[in-house]
Amino acid sequence: KDVYVAYDTMVLLQHLYRHFSSKVAQTILSDPMGLSSLMQILQDAKTDFVRNEALQLLYLLTETNTEIQKIVTFQGCIESLFAVISEEDISRHFTSVTRTALRCLLNFLSNPYCVKYVRETGGIRAMCDLMAKALEPTKTAEDSSPTAASSRSVEGDDHKCAQAVEYLIRGTILLLQGGGEAPEAGKSV
């Protein structure tokens, strides 16, 4: 397939979804290959910009549609989201790709069926691994020794990913609660 056709298709579907969300979702659900094709693009894209647009479309589609959430969960979407987040250096940078993937993951974790799947397929371990990765101290050229890295504080530049950690905590809470609404940022649980 042509990379640019896939990219343009993802962008066009996002634009259409923003204006005709229910019709686009209904059409994608009615096509037996609709969601499978989206998942294939997300999982097999050779270029980041195509994968990122597929991720953005997936986020839009799963924001409120529990049926789409269930279908793509069983097509490997959760594992794909964990893979995308793991590829990003969340201990140093919180990119729009990371944000979209984490927000998409929260969409799934608000659905009890998806939570059950995540629990049964090692998703809690994956969340813990991502949390550990997000909390890793960032290293600079001056921090070549292990003691220098461990003695640095987590304030200032070392704490660039507070938002990533917040999303991961909210996701973990949803996993523990069994799904439902995620607590809002800044509110105690």
Least confident of 47-51, 119-123, 140-144: 140-144
Q: Is 113 helix (H, G, I), strand (E, B) or coil?
A: helix
Looking from the CA of 98 toward its CB, the CA atoms found within 13 Å total 23
Kindly state the percentage of the chain with pLDDT values over 90: 58
Show the domain range for 19. Answer: 1-67
Task: Clarify whether residues 82 and 166 are in a common domain.
Answer: yes
The pLDDT tens digits of the residues spanning 93-122 come to 778 899 999 999 999 999 999 999 999 999
Task: Clarify whether residues 174 and 82 are in a common domain.
Answer: yes
Contact, 105 vs 123, CB < 8 A? no
Q: Kindly list the distances between the CA atom of residue 78 and the CA atoms of 50, 57, 157, 170, 184, in Å, as whole numbers in the listed order.
A: 18, 15, 30, 16, 22
Taking alpha carbons only, the member of 68, 73, 69, 86 closest to residue 132 is 86
| pLDDT band (50, 70, 90) for residue 92 | confident
Residues with Cβ within 8 Å of 56's Cβ and at least 6 positions away in sequence, in order, are: 10, 14, 100
Q: Tell me if 174 is assigned to some domain.
A: yes
Boundary-marking domain end, from 46, 67, 88: 67
Q: What pTM did the predictor assign?
A: 0.81
